[in-house]
Structure 1
Amino acid sequence: MSNAYSSILTLLNEQEQHLDVLLLLLHRELDAIRTRDVETLKTNTDEKIQILDLVQATDEQLTASPELDAAKQQDWFKAHLQRLEEKLAQCKFQNQVNSQSVEQSQLVIERFKTELLQSRGRAGLTYTSKGKAAQVDKGPGIKA
């Protein structure tokens, strides 16, 4: 590998580091979802946005590199690109797991809410236009 490709190799290594950090953040996010730690989720989301911005900036730098077309023909480039694609696939999978965990948590909370409303009495239980259970407040009563 010549010095002409050193800038591309540096950018590929940076991209790999960014994806490693992103995967770590996604694992932390799942832990925060499990423990319902809202503050950690917010901090983690901010960090993920920063890392994703760095990934995008590095991609733009790679695309603008004049040696990129020649480097794409090299075996070392193809091997590095394969590793990056595998890490990106891991990140996408972990993001899907996190998304499903959030959806499951929301379903459990909604089910719990419905059970609580039902336990307060069926007379005041109704449904919203979206089909979700709601308690009707009948007020203090009628005074004549």
Structure 2
Amino acid sequence: MLPSSTSQGLTPTELLAKQHQQLTLLAEIIANEKEVLQQHEPQALLAISQEKNTLLVAIEHLDREIGQNQAFAQAKAAGELSQELKEITDLLHHCQQKNQVNGQIIQQSQLAVERMKTSLLENHNKNAITYDKKGKKNAGLSSLGLKA
């Protein structure tokens, strides 16, 4: 993990190199997260989520530092950092797309779990059907006057 030390004293190019390094690491974490999601490993997912969150906080902190850096603002205004900024923007867009894919995997997994839960409840209810003295269907123990 990247140290959370201050980046003061770094040149604008060094700041952007550090930001690029952080985003590259984020892309790797997101790729690992996708593998973990596909393998359905809850403990590994928890660990990778914590690692991802820590890195996102570090990225946000560095981004604020860059935004307040006068030398960076001057170099950007002079057009000196356009290539580095384009690379970072492309990498950030890549991370956002991959993260969105992971979000869709999570959403589909939740839907699958919900469908399974519904199916299990339906099967349980089918097995719990009883008939009263008049031959009418009643479901569950409540028809017997029992309370859980």
Per the shorter chain, which TM-score range?
Answer: 0.7 to 0.9
Q: 2:118 aligns with which of 110, 114, 117?
A: 114
Quick one: structure 1 residues 120 and 54, their matched pair in 2 at CA, closer, same or farther if it must change by over 3 Å?
same
- What does the per-residue CA deviation read over 1:60-115, in whole Å, with 9 as the maximum and x for residues that have no partner? 22122221232113444011001101111011111110111011011111111212
Quick one: structure 1 residues 142 and 86, their matched pair in 2 at CA, closer, same or farther if it must change by over 3 Å?
same
Partner of 1:130: none
Alpha-carbon distance in 2 for matches of 1:62, 1:78? 15
Task: Confirm or deny that 1:72 pairs with 2:76.
Answer: yes
Deviation at 1:142, TM superposition (A): 3.9
Task: Confirm or deny that 1:138 pairs with 2:145.
Answer: no
Quick one: structure 1 residues 12 and 137, their matched pair in 2 at CA, closer, same or farther if it must change by over 3 Å?
farther
- Structure 2 unmatched ranges of 5 or more: 1-9, 130-138
Q: Using structure 2 for the length normalisation, give the TM-score.
A: 0.76
Partner of 1:53: 57
Partner of 1:37: 41
Please say which structure displays the higher CA radius of gyration: 2
Deviation at 1:51, TM superposition (A): 0.8
CA RMSD of aligned residues (A): 2.5
